[in-house]
Chains A and B, each alone.
Chain A
Amino acid sequence: MTTMWTTKVRRATIEKIDPQDALPDNQPSYVASWIYVFGVATLAALVVIIASGFVLTSKGATWWHTSSVGHYWNSVHLWAVELFFVFMVVHLWGKFWMAAWRGRRFQTWVTGTFCFLGSLATAFTGYLIQGDFDSQWIATQAKDGLNSVGIGSFFNTLNSGQALLLHVALLPFVVGIIVVWHIILVRKNGVVPPLDAKEIAGGGK
Chain B
Amino acid sequence: MVPLAISLDGPAKFITFGFISVSVPNLIMIGLIIVFFILALVIPFPTHKSDGK
Let me know if B47 is at the binding interface, CB within 8 A.
Answer: yes
Let me know if A32 is at the binding interface, CB within 8 A.
Answer: yes
The docked-state distance in angstroms from the alpha carbon of A33 to that of B33 is: 17
Give the B-binding residues of A (Cβ under 8 A): 29, 32-35, 37-38, 82, 86, 89-90, 93-94
Cβ of A194 to closest chain B Cβ, rounded Å: 12
Using Cβ atoms and an 8 Å threshold, which residues of chain A touch B32? 86
A29, A34, A82, A86: residue with the most chain B Cβ atoms closer than 10 Å? A34
Q: Indicate if the CB atoms of A90 and B40 lie closer than 8 Å.
A: yes
The docked-state distance in angstroms from the alpha carbon of A35 to that of B38 is: 9
Q: Indicate if the CB atoms of B43 and A34 lie closer than 8 Å.
A: yes
Binary contact readout B6-50 vs A (1 if CB under 8 angstroms, 0 otherwise): 000000000000000000000001001100110111010101000
Give the A-binding residues of B (Cβ under 8 A): 29, 32-33, 36-37, 39-41, 43, 45, 47, 53
Q: Indicate if the CB atoms of A32 and B45 lie closer than 8 Å.
A: yes
Q: Indicate if the CB atoms of A33 and B45 lie closer than 8 Å.
A: yes
Cβ of B23 to closest chain A Cβ, rounded Å: 13
Using Cβ atoms and an 8 Å threshold, which residues of chain A touch B41? 33-35
Kindly count the residue-residue contacts between A and B in the assembled complex, taking CB atoms under 8 Å apart: 31
Q: Indicate if the CB atoms of B33 and A34 lie closer than 8 Å.
A: no
The contact sample of 14 A-B pairs, CB cut-off 8 A, is A32-B47, A34-B39, A34-B43, A35-B41, A37-B45, A38-B40, A82-B29, A86-B32, A86-B33, A86-B36, A89-B33, A90-B33, A93-B37, A94-B37
Cβ of A156 to closest chain B Cβ, rounded Å: 25
B32, B36, B39, B53: residue with the most chain A Cβ atoms closer than 10 Å? B36
Knowing that A38-B36, A82-B29 touch, tell me 20 more A-B residue pairs with CB under 8 angstroms. A29-B47, A29-B53, A32-B45, A32-B47, A33-B40, A33-B45, A34-B40, A34-B45, A35-B40, A37-B40, A38-B40, A86-B29, A86-B32, A86-B33, A86-B36, A89-B33, A90-B37, A93-B37, A94-B37, A94-B40
Using Cβ atoms and an 8 Å threshold, which residues of chain A touch B37? 90, 93-94
Using Cβ atoms and an 8 Å threshold, which residues of chain B touch A94? 37, 40
Using Cβ atoms and an 8 Å threshold, which residues of chain B touch A34? 39-41, 43, 45
The docked-state distance in angstroms from the alpha carbon of A32 to that of B45 is: 6
